[in-house]
Amino acid sequence: MNMKLVQVLVFGLLLVNISACAPEVGSEKWCKKMADQPSGEWTANEAADYAKHCVFKKLK
In a domain, 38, yes or no: yes
In a domain, 9, yes or no: no
In this model, does residue 9 exceed pLDDT 90?
no
Q: Which domain holds residue 54?
A: 24-60
When divided into structural domains, the chain yields a total of 1
In a domain, 15, yes or no: no
d(CA 37, CA 52): 17
Name the CA radius of gyration of the chain, rounded.
Answer: 17
Quick one: DSSP state of residue 22?
A: S
In a domain, 56, yes or no: yes
Q: What is the pTM of this model?
A: 0.61
Q: What is the pLDDT of residue 41?
A: 95
In a domain, 44, yes or no: yes
In a domain, 12, yes or no: no
Q: What is the pLDDT of residue 3?
A: 86
In a domain, 31, yes or no: yes
In a domain, 40, yes or no: yes
